[in-house]
A and B are shown apart, each in its own frame.
Chain A
């Protein structure tokens, strides 16, 4: 119960927000984007935060999922649900093929390889015009229908994405506390040591890479149906970087950090719009300052702050969250 208390709080927050602020633009529109980003950040965090494998190309899997759904529904008249599954299957297959050679690389070489993968996928999306619509994108993507309940309003999308986010968080939390989750964290500490303990590092790394790609792919399909129009711009190198930033900003190796980072980075540009021409500059400056002064990320930082104040809570609070915080700082 205690382990999942954060999960129940998030669920409560997601349910309460539209009840408290029904027609608020930030709740029904921006929060949907924030939710999608949070799903992506949570999946990337499994790979980056826990397994310690940096990826600068996560948007590629998001894009393959989105285009998989879009192409199958608009060009071949598929029902959206099998299209989502087919998109995920394709993504999983591609991720599985590239995982082995890519995850052999380390540090900056791994960063470069994933970055290259992301750019290659983006170029294919732009160039394969007869299938993807090229730089102009693909429109008229049909909406989702759940047992006759059409997802046709902002509020309904809010509910769908909110549920998907809760599922992703629940999945991530459970994986981390399972046997394979511990294998992942061991791998982060030292690969050689993990192998000595009998962990098959190749299989573990491939597994988490494919899982992260699958989650991203489903998020991409949802995005395609929600927007009804997609273009390669949404899946560029910049978006991959943004996702990495969400994870690191929130605090690596913490699912809640990833969610927090995604929410902040989605709302920040919305709030910076008032600065008009200065927007880009201020965004860059905030990014730099946060990373310089809070290198371990916001969530572990906030946690440490909360833990220092009421001293009486010490023991019970550190058992579960304490280990998370330490990982983030490492």
Chain B
């Protein structure tokens, strides 16, 4: 029994790490521009799909393909900001939500056109020899996902707290006009925020693709889960989003193993609803007060 639970926890942390990266991307864009980006899941899909496509057959060597895939996704993220989000500044929450949903449908349509409906696999980064911990097993790729996520979360934390561009983005999220007045290039900061968010999404996609495979619509559920995780942690708190992601992954894995695999997504959402009922601003979010 203990070994079984350990197994569920290991799987949960791996899945949760992916959610955490997607959620972190959500939180960064939300902080920078007050937009909930429903195309976040599509970044994950684009990263994984272009990596597979570029390295397929006699294509580029794996590391080069991965770097190119990430760069492509970052460009897509910046283009999204420049041509879809920036022109609609000042639009209502619902309008921006629909713009990003439109963007996600568009990106999915492009992927469908380029790669078709097939499901693609990707080679594991460093072999498929399982590592045994008691009765539980772990693939090297799981370690890649966990390690990669940890490194990126720490890097993002460092970026926002100890570098000038990071602090500049935070300044924009506090007060755009004031940030502009002290000489911050707000437009550029928005581009960086979207690029960074796309980067995190692409990395999540690439890290997890060898385990879960990928297809043109792989981003839909991941995007929703990332959004749930960000809300669970408290929108606008990046580290809360990471914690929310890990928590959601763990809940789902344990629910699938111990209760029912068919209902695992439902249990995740039920817990999310319960959390919102008792803490309407998420686990680590600040309660907001309505101004008149």
Contact = CB atoms under 8 A, between A and B. Distances in A.
B258 interface: no
Contacts of A116: 228, 269-270, 272-273
Contacts of B127: none
Contacts of B269: 116-117, 119-120
A280 B112 contact: yes
B103 A284 contact: yes
B265 A123 contact: yes
B104 A284 contact: yes
B292 A190 contact: yes
Nearest to A245: B98
Contacts of A105: 276, 280
A118 to B, nearest CB: 9
Interface in B25-55: 30, 36
A292 to B, nearest CB: 5
B290 A112 contact: no
B105 A54 contact: no
Contacts of A192: 290, 292
B88 interface: yes
B97 A111 contact: yes
Contacts of B104: 284
Interface in B122-181: none
B102 A284 contact: yes
B18 to A, nearest CB: 18
A287 interface: yes
A284 B108 contact: yes
Contacts of B98: 244-245, 248-249, 287, 291
A281 B110 contact: yes
Contact of B270 (A102, A120, A193): A120
A274 interface: no
Q: Which of B92, B105, B269 has the most CB of A within 10 A?
A: B105
Given A109-B281, A123-B266, A252 B109 contact: no
Nearest to B272: A116
A284 B109 contact: yes
A280 B109 contact: yes
A154 interface: no
Given A109-B276, A111-B36, A120-B269, A295 B95 contact: yes
B120 to A, nearest CB: 18
A241 interface: yes
B191 interface: no
Interface in B234-292: 235, 260, 262-263, 265-266, 269-270, 272-273, 276-277, 280-282, 288, 290, 292
A310 interface: no
B280 A282 contact: no
A112 B270 CA distance: 12
Interface string B190-214: 0000000000000000000000000
A212 to B, nearest CB: 16
18 contacts: A109-B281, A112-B227, A112-B272, A113-B273, A113-B276, A119-B266, A120-B266, A123-B265, A127-B260, A249-B98, A277-B112, A278-B113, A281-B112, A282-B109, A284-B106, A287-B106, A291-B95, A295-B91
Interface of A: 48, 54, 101-102, 104-109, 111-113, 115-117, 119-120, 123-124, 126-127, 190-193, 237, 241, 244-245, 248-249, 252, 277-288, 291-292, 295, 330
Given A249-B98, A288-B103, 5 more contacts: A106-B288, A113-B273, A279-B109, A291-B91, A292-B88
The 3 closest A-B pairs by CB, nearest first: A281-B109, A284-B106, A284-B105
